[in-house]
Amino acid sequence: SVLQSVVETLNSLGVSSPEDFRYVQEADLLPVLRPIRARKLVSAWRQINSCSGTQSSSCSSSSPTFGKASTIASDWADNFKIPWEKLPEALMQCLERQKRPTPRLRRDMEKIVVSEMMKICKSPSKKNSTAIAKKMVAKYPTSLQDVIDGDIVGAGYHSLLKQFQNRVKNVKRTNVQKIRKRSRTEDSDTEEIPAERKAVFQDTYGCVNWNVKFMPLNETKESQWEKQEMIKMKSKETNFDLEEVSNLLKTTYYT
């Protein structure tokens, strides 16, 4: 639905409280709303946010609630339970034996942890990611801490923090792309182009229709062969009809 698309877009932008609506621009909503609707919605949010600080609580209760974002506690990351039980057995063996996990296992860990984080908060902040990275490194320092030649680098959790942040960005970017690719029906300003036609026009290099499956109905393998032979003969002539050769090339393109 249109409402669900708007909710997903706002979550991907990082809207987590009614106060955040003031930073939403009309252009942010164009992938899922027509221009006039986007302007009306942004205008309504600005009117709501014009309430004074003392009226903020009443404004929040009257403003639309998108998912669970507006009810998330600011310190949720401090109480976040690391999903150790969901991590691969091979990874947990490394951690328990105080060994460094392979890059693949580490990526698996990041994906699972970030997935659990984003179930609580669609757009975890750097502060949130820092709290969780610190907690994980504190539990398994030998396996997860940033170390070079036996020396701890910085706070020891910077690499894990950056990987969490990058993963969050990638997930949000993917969600936005999915929203933009969603076909529009009644809200579409232009006629929908069939998926088959889109695929043809999206070819970038060379001819966009190079792999023709069928010959014209008036052509046969024999007629194609005859025309190919004519092209070979024409290529040996010094004075040939360019238009005739061009037509022959077009008609023999299929074979």
Tens digit of each residue's pLDDT (9 = 90 or more) over 174-232:
766 665 555 454 455 444 445 544 444 444 444 555 555 556 667 788 888 888 888 88
* Domain limit, last residue, from 132, 162, 181: 181
3-state DSSP assignment of residue 88:
coil
Tens digit of each residue's pLDDT (9 = 90 or more) over 37-89:
878 887 777 776 654 343 444 334 444 444 444 467 778 988 899 999 999 99
Do 28 and 97 lie in one domain? The reply is no
Distance spanning both ends of the chain, measured CA to CA: 47
Do 33 and 56 lie in one domain? The reply is yes
What domain range includes position 99? Answer: 76-181
| Cβ burial, residue 77 (10 Å; 0-12/13-18/19+) | buried
User: Is the model's pLDDT at 6 over the cut of 50?
Assistant: yes
Do 140 and 177 lie in one domain? The reply is yes
Do 15 and 32 lie in one domain? The reply is yes
Lowest mean per-residue pLDDT among 86-100, 138-152, 239-253: 239-253
Residue 20 maps to a domain: yes
247 pLDDT tier (thresholds 50, 70, 90): confident
Mean pLDDT over the full length of the chain: 75
Give the predicted TM-score (pTM) of the model: 0.44
Q: Where are the beta strands (DSSP E) in the chain?
A: 147-148, 151-152
Do 117 and 139 lie in one domain? The reply is yes
Do 112 and 170 lie in one domain? The reply is yes
108 pLDDT tier (thresholds 50, 70, 90): very high
Do 65 and 90 lie in one domain? The reply is no
Q: Which amino acid is at 100?
A: R
The residues, any chain, with a CB within 8 Å of residue 225's CB and separated by 6 or more, are none
What pLDDT score was predicted for residue 87? 92
Q: How many structural domains compose the chain?
A: 3
Do 20 and 92 lie in one domain? The reply is no
Measured between alpha carbons, how far is 146 from 121 in angstroms, rounded to an integer? Answer: 27
Task: Please check whether residue 48 is in contact with residue 25, taking contact to mean a CB–CB distance below 8 angstroms.
Answer: no
36 pLDDT tier (thresholds 50, 70, 90): confident
